Structure 1
Amino acid sequence: MFFRSKPRPATAADPDAPTEDTGVLDTLRRSLDAARLPAQAAAAAGRELARLEKTDPSVAEYAVGIHYLECILKLPWNACTRDTLDLTRARDVLDARHHGLAPVKERILEFLAARALRGAARPRLLVVDDEEIARTNMAHVLGREGYEVRVAGDGLEALDVLTGGFEADVVVTDLKMERLDGMELLRRLRRVAPDAAVVMVTGFATVGTAVEALRAGAAHYLGKPVNLDELKRTVRAVLEARTASSPGRGPVLCFSGPPGVGKTSVGQAVAESLGREFVRVSLAGLRDEAELRGHRRTYVGAMPGRILKELTRVGVANPVFMLDEIDKIGSDFRGDAASALLEILDPEQNARFSDNFLEIPFDLSRIMFLATANDVSRLPGPLLDRLENLAFPGYTDREKCGIAKDFLLPRHLRENGLSQASVSFTDQALSRIIDDYTRESGLRGLSREIGTACRRLAKLTFENAGQAPARIDAPDIPTLLGPRRFTREAAEAGDRVGVVTGLVVGEHGGEIVFVETARMPGTGQLLLTGSLGEVLRESAQAALSHIRSQAAALGVEPGFFEKTDLHIHFPAGAVTKDGPSAGVTIFCALLSLLTGRPARCDAAATGEMTLAGRLLPVAGIREKCLAAKRAGITTVVLPRANGEVVAALPDDVLEGLDVVLAADAAEAARVVLRGEKEKEEASGGRGE
């Protein structure tokens, strides 16, 4: 009986037989040769490829090595998009995407203009050679490359040019010259022009002179006669290296503000204005720094960090990269992700960012980083120091109404199969949605409620054979959205003793708050209730101590606190409150209680108060003024140090408000409390 034997597969005994694995390595080798990788990346890839050639394909390390090489190949080492900034177009893009936000738009345009000017500046070169023909030829060739070129006949003449105001980026100098040779010029340049890179040129090229020049600080060394093509390549490489290591790339903008005010979409508009790719990475809840830096290859399933993965996805090395919700980064036993951002955002370090997976320096300095945060006070100090905060204010009710009419309503009508010709909302209807169904500084809740109303209208239209209410007015809103969800705090109906209105800023923008006080027989205790933070408790202690120390001047019985307990309460006990800006409000409430003078129901105060009674400036003036207007307040007392901020507010914010700037707490009390002016007039009359 005979059997036909099957063909024998290729084994280690057949070293010349081609295998699938050797084909993969050959493909990777060809791709690496054609990739024009940086020197360190090419060397690391070569070492890994050599290791894989000796590794059994069946082991796990082989697949990890293949993945490592593929990651190196996919990274955009040299791919960049060219900026196409037109300030007029950039302004049009910002205006088309966002209503209002004029200060924010101006700051962004300034930021973009500075980057554009810095990028458009012509590199400045100084050519130093005592041979006129060589000097002229080098200057002519480099000038045709678009550089601004100056020439000098020797080292002393070169120093005169540099000290005369010409800031050279690169100095191309001969080594052997009369009066002052190239080596001495190189040494003096460290003092006169320390930022200039030096390319040494000489006809006496030896290993010793080259080593001496490079040790003295030269960036490159060329022999004579100079190959002009090589000179162009050398100068271009020196300028690129100088640009990569330059820290002067401008600040990293951090857009801060409440949710829904357009922080992320402004970042998209910046990318569109520059013609760059846009990348957004949410950092909310991020705790493991390996998410940013990557995992080391010894871990199972290791991969690069999110920074390099996103660059691989977009395929360019200079996108607009938005780090969203940067204030919500956490930290635990796995590391501090916020500390990892220090290297990523620092222009002194990010030109050689090393991912744990690749362990090869990658230049992140070409990226335009942006960040967003709701509360920058949560950021660590070193990280905040690397950011330039650009605060996004909340929208006024008038701005919300305009945005709803021009942007939100047309979009939701279109998405729900309705047309603006068949359905319209009056301004009163939109204002009712804003007042009764949203409580926010942004627009997300307003957009959600308008979408709900449009879906209800679409249902009515479908059920009534295409007929729906053509005009939606304020009384129709409860039919579409149900009972009102929010009631805004309004000013008191009348003056009260011991109750003063304050102004605060919370997650939903500005609000008013009532500071209530009461006295009772006791042993001199101060009770504080209302979920108060430590800073607010200290403000109350400071206000009481100031009253006790100035009791006679304030018209308070000096020994009032010996047999009296005082109670200060902030309503809405379920909401945590903190901050220094209620100090003057607490002072006025206590003074009203102890003197019996009622506090004005149409006045509100805000300001940090010192133990000596001085008022310090506070933040959120715009939001606080808007809150006062919504509540029916007509007089607002602010620290005098906030005068410049008040002067810069737009007219629609201050319309209907009488803003009083007070230097100290006593001056604020004369405005907030009734009876002080009458008492002064009476005492003045007796004096005469």
Structure 2
Amino acid sequence: MKEKLTLFSEEQYDDLDDNMGMVMPVLTDCDADDDFSQGMDSLDSHIPILPLRNMVLFPGVAMPVLVGRDKSMKLVREAYKKKKLIGVVCQKDGKQNDPGQEDLYQVGVIAEIMRILEMPDGTTTVILQGKKRFLLEAISSTEPYLIGKYTVFDDALPKKSDREFEALISTIKDLTIKMMSTGAELPRDLIFSIKNNKNSLYLINFSCNNLPCGAHEKQDLLLIGDLKERAYRLLFILNREYQLMELKASIQMKTREDIDQQQREYFLQQQIKTIQEELGGNINELELKELREKAAKKKWDSRVAVIFEKELRKLERLHPQSPDYSMQTQYVQTIISLPWNEYSKDNFNLKHAQKILDRDHYGLEKVKERIIEHLAVLKLKGDMKSPIICLYGPPGVGKTSLGKSIAEALNRKYVRVSLGGLHDEAEIRGHRRTYIGAMSGRIVQNLQKAGTSNPVFVLDEIDKITSDFKGDPSSALLEVLDPEQNNTFHDNYLDIDYDLSKVMFIATANNLGTISQPLLDRMELIDISGYILEEKIEIAARHLVPKQMEAHGLPKGIVKFPKKTLEAIIDFYTRESGVRGLDKMLAKIMRKLARKMAMDESLPASIQPGDVEEYLGAKEYLRDKYQGNNYAGVVTGLAWTAAGGEILFIESSLSKGKGGKLTLTGNLGDVMKESAMLALEYIRSHASLFGIKEDMFENWNVHVHVPEGAIPKDGPSAGITMVTSLVSAFTQCKVKNNLAMTGEITLRGKVLPVGGIKEKILAAKRAGIKELVLCKENKKHVDEINPVYLKGLSFHYVEDISEVVEIALLKQKVDNPLF
């Protein structure tokens, strides 16, 4: 018989005291027909008995046993020296130190001592090889060790042709390998030896000895003499123990799943830190700590907190040298720099607000009234969706600067974004993070600057937005300026909904015609018309002159500007509805005064009207004055421009010619040309009404001209002016002095209302006009104007062209009439 011993580590014996516990048996190579009876013929009638604690030896199996008792030591040493076989029997009670016959099981195994190993820790290990089962009949002696009388048993082996037994052995092999492999990987040579061993007796006994069950159950297996029956019993125990091991493993996995996940995350984080340190040090640790400290102070909701933590963890995993690191850092900084749910407290002192608005802006009563109303509602209700106000009017009337005053009155932060020339939708909504150089839109950027979620937000020049292949920014503004939608404004870069409902948006525009209708529908329109002369004088005296003196380094009040001087500057050097041009003229004067002061020249105590030309040069505007009524066919009309109102002259003249040809000049638009043709046709059909002979239309050609041919002119407002001009030309009658008119006409002779009434009235007043002819329906617009602006003007409200002609034309002929 060949022997092959596996190696055992010292740890397997650390806690054993005289063979207590189970130690894996040694796997032995043996022949298929070996019955392990070799050497049995040398046995005597009595045999030394070695008691084992909690261990059962089976025939054919080699097993290490830790020996510690004195009697046991004497027995093994003497038997090993004399090469005698011994009887190995398991104790019923492992705690018994000096067992007798009543303390031992009756059936044991005759064994051969293969080797005695002296261990480094002072213990002794004996390798035992089982031979045959025996029955312990009696203990004949207890000194110097146990000696007993015995009877040897032979195992009943099945027939070699028994297929059932073969299947039984194969199943036992597989289960034994599975059991031994649980928790540790078996050496390949051990698995190979088990699978290829042909000795059925040995395989069954090896598996019995290797069972993870108690000694009592192993002793029951040893009692079974029929090998097939022992194999069935072994298979039952193997199945039971294997199922139990699987169940234990499953329970352990379930109970440790949570802690394993935590440990896994912890180890991964430690590995990331180690890798980062190896690559160049975790230089962003302080930055990440600072970000987390800032995040702890934020008032954002749980949804934003989850997203921020996710993005911050992503940043932690990136190395500072990575290209994505700066992009991720910028995104995290954007999230944390936004004022989530941070609001400034509104000042509900209405008198204080009125005082601020009156201090900064003269006039503009409608806007001031609207802001005070808004504050009043906030004071009573406590909360409301902020309105979207659109201030529209000519340049220079103070639309943009109103935003600052409103912010101060409300005690809110002030931000302004200029939309002039904007043509990329991403400027409003931001770019998606997938693009290189992506950034948030201007709305989010300015909220970061403001530091609160309820600033006064001025959208300047909203009518100057353009669109191209990159998108339509005005469509992107629909969400921003809709109180029903902007509580969940979505910026493509931020990719988190943001609440804009507390922001007070104020848009400014010069011309509503270029703004899309859906956008107009979302805003509350407030018209800011141009200033009259008196208002401009007050604005210059209160605001512009002190501002320009300070801007040019001149001591306050060192030079006086009388109101007459300011009036001369406005009349002769500016032509506008606002005061921007006036501000420039005052700056020009201040520069010349600053030069004199810097060169130590004496400064005048005040600037008189006669001195203005010295500082500003020759007068720039003279033609805006009324030019009299000495010519037939010349009538004063009123026009609206983006810069405010203006007066214009309609000139009609007649010349001899057949066919009554009509010539129109002056860079007129289609609507204005149609008005001229309409006016001529109406006069032809009502010639008798105006005292005009019918043959005149066939013998005289008509030429209508509007001066300043380089400036395009269009619109229906000059309709009644053209009728009056043509009737004056055909009748050669004078037009009433200091009279101007505006209104659209129909072929039936009706006068229709027109727009821009306030600007036109102010233009007329600047030009020295005393009387105005308007459509009756325009009276409601005149009633809205402050009576102070209308001082010195009289109005004629008409419904029919005949009324206009009757009011405008005198019976008196002009000097040197044509006929």
Normalised by the length of structure 2, the TM-score is 0.62
1:98 matched to 2:349? The reply is no
Q: Are 2:747 and 1:611 aligned?
A: yes
> Which of 673, 688, 711 is equivalent to 1:537?
673
Corresponding position of 2:610: 475
**Which residue in the other structure is 1:528 paired with?**
664
Q: Which residue of 1 aligns with 2:652?
A: 517
Cα shift readout 1:210-267 (whole Å, capped 9, x = no counterpart): xxxxxxxxxxxxxxxxxxxxxxxxxxxxxxxxxxxxxx73641111112221112221
Residue from 591, 595, 617 that aligns with 2:731: 595
Partners of 1:574 and 1:358 in 2: how far apart? 50
CA contact (8 A) 1:531 1:577 kept: yes
CA distance in 2: counterparts of 1:638 and 1:323, whole angstroms: 35
Structure 1 residues 58 and 496: CA distance shift in structure 2, 3 A: same
Q: Greater CA deviation, 61-70 or 380-389?
A: 61-70
Deviations 1:630-657 (A, max 9, x none): 2232221111112233234334322222
Cα distance change, pair 10–66 in 1 and its aligned pair in 2 (3 A): closer
Q: How does 1:204-243 map to 2 (within 5 A)?
A: none
1:75 and 2:210 aligned:
no
Q: SS where residue 371 of structure 1 aligns?
A: strand
C-alpha change, 1:13 and 1:384, in structure 2 (3 Å) is closer
Cα displacement (A) at 1:468: 1.8
Q: Secondary structure at the match of 1:674?
A: strand
The equivalent of 1:45 in structure 2 is: 308
Measured in 2, the distance between the counterparts of 1:485 and 1:640 equals 36
Q: 1:206-605 counterparts in 2 under 5 A?
A: 249=385, 251-419=387-555, 422-464=558-600, 467-520=602-655, 521=657, 523=659, 525-558=661-694, 561=697, 565-605=701-741
CA drift at 1:580:
2.0
Structure 1: 5+ residue stretches without partners:
1-8, 121-247, 678-688
Residue aligning to 2:349: 86
Q: Which has the larger radius of gyration?
A: 2
Q: Is the 8 A contact 2:319 2:325 kept in 1?
A: yes
Q: Deviations over 1:357-405 (max 9, x none)?
A: 1111111111011111112222111111111111112111112222222
Give the Cα–Cα distance (whole angstroms) in 1 for the partners of residues 538 and 280 of structure 2.
74
1:84 aligned counterpart, secondary structure: coil
Aligned to 1:577, the other structure's residue is in SS state coil
- Is the 1:326–1:373 Cα contact (8 Å) retained in structure 2? yes
Matched, 1:660 2:796: yes
Query: 1:17–1:579: structure 2 CA closer, same or farther, 3 Å change rule?
Result: closer
CA distance in 2 between counterparts of 1:612 and 1:54 reads: 81
Measure the CA separation in 2 of the matches of 1:289 and 1:270. 28
C-alpha separation in 2, matches of 1:118 and 1:527: 64
Which letter maps to 1:41? Answer: V
Match of 1:680 in 2: none
Contact persistence 1:10–1:17 (CA under 8 A) = no
For residues 554-607 of structure 1, the C-alpha deviation after alignment (integer angstroms, 9 at most, x for no partner) is 444456556654332211111122222111111211222233333234211111
> Does residue 65 of structure 2 align to residue 65 of structure 1?
no
Which whole-Å CA distance do the structure 2 matches of 1:349 and 1:289 have between them?
18
Calculate percent identity across the aligned residue pairs: 44
| Residues 1:597 and 1:413: Cα distance change in structure 2 (over 3 Å) | same
Match of 1:156 in 2: none
Number of residue equivalences: 541
TM-fit CA distance, 1:345:
0.2
Measure how far apart 1:67 and its partner are: 1.6
Could you tell which deviates more after superposition, 544-553 or 256-265? Answer: 544-553
Q: What do residues 264-312 of structure 1 show as CA deviations (whole Å, max 9, x unaligned)?
A: 2221111111111011111111111111110111211100001001111
**TM-score if structure 1 supplies the norm length?**
0.73
Q: Deviations over 1:468-492 (max 9, x none)?
A: 2213211111112222222242222
Report the residue type matching 1:314 in the other structure. A
Provide the alpha-carbon RMSD of the alignment.
2.8
Q: Partners of 1:663 and 1:559 in 2: how far apart?
A: 29
Aligned counterparts of 1:14 and 1:508: Cα–Cα separation in 2: 66
Give the conservation status (yes or no) of the 8 Å contact 2:530–2:762. Answer: no
Please say if 1:669 is aligned against 2:817. no
Give the superposition deviation at 1:116: 3.2
Match of 1:20 in 2: 283
Paired letter, 1:86: N
Q: For the structure 1 residues 58 and 423, does the alpha-carbon distance in structure 2 shift closer, same or farther, using more than 3 Å as the test?
A: closer
Which one has more relative contact order, counting CA pairs under 8 Å at least 6 apart? Answer: 1
**Structure 2 counterpart of 1:482, one-letter code:** G
**Contact preservation (8 Å) 2:430, 2:441:** yes
Once residues 52 and 427 of structure 1 are traced to their aligned partners in structure 2, the CA distance between those partners, rounded to angstroms, is: 66
1:625 aligns with 2:625: no
* Partner AA of 2:392 in structure 1: S
Contact 1:437 1:484 in 2 (8 A): yes
Cα 1:331–1:653 change in 2 (3 A) is: same
The offset of 1:10, in angstroms, is: 9.0
SS of the aligned residue for 2:508 comes to strand
Deviation per residue, 1:387-426 (Å, 9 max, x gap):
1111112111112222222332233334444445542222
Counterpart of 2:355 in structure 1: which amino acid? D
Deviation track 1:328-378 (CA, whole Å, cap 9, x = no partner) reads: 111111111111111100011111111011111111111011111112222
Amino acid at match of 1:603: L
Distance across 1 between alignment mates of 2:780 and 2:653: 36
Following superposition, the deviation at residue 313 of structure 1 comes to 1.2
Mark the CA change 1:645 to 1:10 in structure 2 (over 3 Å): closer, same or farther: closer
Q: Does 1:111 align with 2:368?
A: no
Cα offset, 1:119, TM superposition: 2.2
The amino acid across from 1:478 in the alignment is: E
Structure 2 counterpart SS, 1:434:
helix
- What is the distance in 2 between the residues matched to 1:417 and 1:512? 39
Deviations along 1:417-466, one digit per CA (max 9) or x if unpaired, are 4445542222222211111111122122212222221232232234345x
SS state of the match for residue 424, structure 1? coil
Q: Name the SS of the counterpart of 1:296 in structure 2.
A: coil
Give 1:514 deviation, angstroms.
Answer: 0.4
